[in-house]
């Protein structure tokens, strides 16, 4: 198994600089999936210290599609100049930098992370651009809050810097919060940040005639008008670097000392070739500890209660339908009626008409029809929605007579799973995700055109046709293991979405020492020999998946490790290991031994097997479930004593 942190919250970092933002999130327990930075010197320092994927792109060059799916998107926009020109008129530079926030908005709109985290200069909140940006984020259904944060108050470090922190979440039931400030008496003494070794003589070349000393106490000496004056806290002057006096000795604040005041660890490696540039890079960098403290609060908001976990399928369904509407030609506005418990309102203008969509996912059919009628009644009485044509969208099967009564009594049209299968058919990725999300089989469900049908059909090339080519392009080895895992999940949702649900990716075991990559639940109503057999004779309701992006075949070691995750009492006695070249002879022998001795079934698939499964699904000549049935037959027939 890979040695990884037990936390699986992920972040993509934009305008990464020398790595302060990434380091703060990593210290808070996040995984940095990708970082983006344009400056080559910054990238060099980042690579010296952080083992993350970093791409040479700035915010303006970056396409939202190049950002991987993550829980959080974070950006350091501190280096943006003032947004408002003299006299209240926006200059060309101001407009150009205003486009940075427009680009952030575009990324939020397309990528829709659960949480965003922005660090900005204090000057930003005094500009018209700021209020416009916050309003746009609200339209995307983000609940956001911002604060001018003093680094000293948040960390206890003796510095004067302040930043605007803007954080937001799409999960209204658990909004993000800021950490509490430290007590004034907890400010850390200056001597804790100073170096006691021999530094470059350059730091000691000081014009003492420009220094005004009134005490002998340890302090910083910061530039004010025409001289250095004593200050208890350091500030960042890009022209006149702060000095520091400890035990009566004065020197320029070294780059290493400044890095420590920025929260970088002692072992963080700097490049001192261009000292002026490095001072500037450190000055603009956010404080690592401040980022960490805010990121820890964000992490807490991502931790779900059992009730919230129950609501996850509903949230995913809402997001899928939202994605579908965004791919159409109309105009979508979110979050009109957030105080209700009836799901998200989506106001959608298409052609000359405007519609109000309520989206609802019922985990069980028990009481569903009564709840559905009650919701339609609520919608019909909402005066704010009277000017819209109202449509209730549900992922469940609704009888025709219920649809008719909702339309006749309340004036609300109902679209159910049959209608959604018809609508989503033109977008293969959305349809695959939708089918995989359902907790029941759709084998006997026939798609139906919705009433009213408000969209013109589009002809798009099915996205799944590229899956085989994507698989061929991923290189075996550690560098692209994550891409391999993500693609395997995508392929499995396409070829097995009819049979499996939940799709809990990267679950960790209770003791945090080991983890498997994916666990799925067999859907209710699935009637295929393979799944009937594992349910009845292997006492299995859940199937574990492992992905190995190895150059060589897997060995018996991987079999024995996976075997530890399988428990009869947990209704989990079947696992599938997917690797580039499949299993070695020793691995297959170990898998047979596990079946013989413990009754645990471990199947091994290769890239070639995935290719065959994709072909079977594309051609639709036989079910992909029959592929696993043939594998099981072969294992049981040839199982030796």
Task: Please name which of 415, 430, 428, 422 lies closest in space to residue 324, comparing C-alpha atoms.
Answer: 430
Token readout for 425 is: 């058919």
Integer Cα distance of 69 and 34 in angstroms: 10
- Give the list of residues 6+ apart from residue 277 with CB closer than 8 angstroms, or none: 41
Residue 336 confidence (pLDDT): 43
Mean pLDDT over 101-127 rounds to 91
Q: What percent of the chain has pLDDT over 70?
A: 87
Residue 310 confidence (pLDDT): 62
pLDDT in tens, 580-607: 999 999 999 999 998 988 889 999 999 9
- At 268, is the secondary structure helix, strand, or coil? coil
Task: Work out whether strand 72-76 and strand 115-120 pair parallel, antiparallel, or are unpaired.
Answer: parallel
pLDDT in tens, 266-302: 889 998 889 999 999 999 999 999 999 999 888 877 7
Residue 513 confidence (pLDDT): 38
Residue 174 confidence (pLDDT): 62
pLDDT in tens, 524-555: 888 888 999 988 888 899 999 999 999 999 99
pLDDT in tens, 606-627: 999 999 999 888 887 778 888 9
Integer Cα distance of 23 and 121 in angstroms: 20
Integer Cα distance of 262 and 159 in angstroms: 9
User: What is the set of domains in the chain, with CATH numbers?
Assistant: 10-177+286-302 (3.40.50.150), 186-272 (no CATH), 306-437 (3.40.1350.10), 464-637 (3.40.1340)
Integer Cα distance of 272 and 285 in angstroms: 16
Has residue 411 got a pLDDT over 70? yes
**402 with 414: CB under 8 angstroms?**
yes
Residue 23 confidence (pLDDT): 94
CA 570 to each of CA 72, 524, 543, 566, 601: distance values in angstroms, whole numbers, following the listed order = 32, 17, 11, 8, 14
pLDDT in tens, 357-381: 888 888 777 778 888 888 888 888 8
Integer Cα distance of 362 and 365 in angstroms: 7
Cite the DSSP H helix spans in 453-549.
467-473, 481-496, 529-537
Task: Let me know how many helices (H) and strands (E) the chain has, helices first.
Answer: 20, 21
Determine how many CB atoms are found less than 10 A away from the CB of residue 614.
19
**538 with 452: CB under 8 angstroms?**
no
pTM of the model: 0.51
pLDDT in tens, 425-466: 888 888 888 888 888 888 788 899 998 888 776 554 444 447
Task: Please name which of 28, 36, 34, 35 lies closest in space to residue 5, comparing C-alpha atoms.
Answer: 28
């Amino acid at each position: 198994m890979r040695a990884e942190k037990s936390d699986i919250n992920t972040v993509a970092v934009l305008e990464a600089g020398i790595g302060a933002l990434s380091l703060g999130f990593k210290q808070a327990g996040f995984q940095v999936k990708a970082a983006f930075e344009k400056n080559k010197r910054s990238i060099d320092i980042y690579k010296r210290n952080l083992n993350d994927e970093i791409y040479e792109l700035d915010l303006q060059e970056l396409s939202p599609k190049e950002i991987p799916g993550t829980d959080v998107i974070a950006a350091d926009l501190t280096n943006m100049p003032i947004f408002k020109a003299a006299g209240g008129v926006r200059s060309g530079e101001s407009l150009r930098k205003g486009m940075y926030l427009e680009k952030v908005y575009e990324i939020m709109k397309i990528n829709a992370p659960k949480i965003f985290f922005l660090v900005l200069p204090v000057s930003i909140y005094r500009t018209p651009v700021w209020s416009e940006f916050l309003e746009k984020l609200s339209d995307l259904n983000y609940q956001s809050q911002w604060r001018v944060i003093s680094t000293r108050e948040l960390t206890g470090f003796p510095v004067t810097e302040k930043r605007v922190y803007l954080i937001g979440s799409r999960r209204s039931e658990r909004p993000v919060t800021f950490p509490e400030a430290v007590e004034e008496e907890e400010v850390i003494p200056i001597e804790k940040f100073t170096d006691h070794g021999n530094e470059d003589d350059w730091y000691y070349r000081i014009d003492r005639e420009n220094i005004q000393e009134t005490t002998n106490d340890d302090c910083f000496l910061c530039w004010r008008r025409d001289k250095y004056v004593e200050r208890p806290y350091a500030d960042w002057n890009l022209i006149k670097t702060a000095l520091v006096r400890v035990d009566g000795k004065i020197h320029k604040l070294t780059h290493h000392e400044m890095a420590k005041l920025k929260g970088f660890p002692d072992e963080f490696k700097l490049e001192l070739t261009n000292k002026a540039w490095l001072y500037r890079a450190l000055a603009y960098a956010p404080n690592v500890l401040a980022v960490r403290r805010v990121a820890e609060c964000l992490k807490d908001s991502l931790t779900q209660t059992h009730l919230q976990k129950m609501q996850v399928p509903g949230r995913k369904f809402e997001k899928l339908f939202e994605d579908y509407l965004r791919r159409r030609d109309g105009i979508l506005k979110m979050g009109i009626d957030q105080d209700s418990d009836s799901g998200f309102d989506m106001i959608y203008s298409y052609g000359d008409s405007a519609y109000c969509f309520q989206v609802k996912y019922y985990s069980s059919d028990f009481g569903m029809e009564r709840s559905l009628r009650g919701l339609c009644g609520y919608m019909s009485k909402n005066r704010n929605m009277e000017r819209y044509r109202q449509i209730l969208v549900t992922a469940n099967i609704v009888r025709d007579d219920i649809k008719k009564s909702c339309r006749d009594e309340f004036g609300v049209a109902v679209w159910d799973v049959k209608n959604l299968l018809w609508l989503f058919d033109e977008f293969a990725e959305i349809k695959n995700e939708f089918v995989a999300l359902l907790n029941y089989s759709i084998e006997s469900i026939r798609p139906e055109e919705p009433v009213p049908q408000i969209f013109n059909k589009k002809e798009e090339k099915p996205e799944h046709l590229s899956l085989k080519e994507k698989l061929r392009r991923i290189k075996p080895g550690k560098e692209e293991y994550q891409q391999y895992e993500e693609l395997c999940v995508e392929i499995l949702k396409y070829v097995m979405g009819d049979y499996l649900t939940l799709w809990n990716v990267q679950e960790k075991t209770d003791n945090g020492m080991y983890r498997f990559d994916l666990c799925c639940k067999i859907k209710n109503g699935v009637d295929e020999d393979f799944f009937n057999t594992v349910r009845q004779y292997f006492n299995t309701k859940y199937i574990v998946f492992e992905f190995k992006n190895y150059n060589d075949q897997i060995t018996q070691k991987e079999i024995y490790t996976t075997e530890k995750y399988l428990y009869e009492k947990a209704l989990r006695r079947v696992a599938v290991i997917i690797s580039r070249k499949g299993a070695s002879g020793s691995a297959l022998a170990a898998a047979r031994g596990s079946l013989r001795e413990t009754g645990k079934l471990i199947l091994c698939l290769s890239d070639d097997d995935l290719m065959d499964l994709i072909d079977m699904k594309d051609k639709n000549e036989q079910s992909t479930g029959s592929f696993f049935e043939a594998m099981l037959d072969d294992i049981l027939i040839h199982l030796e004593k």
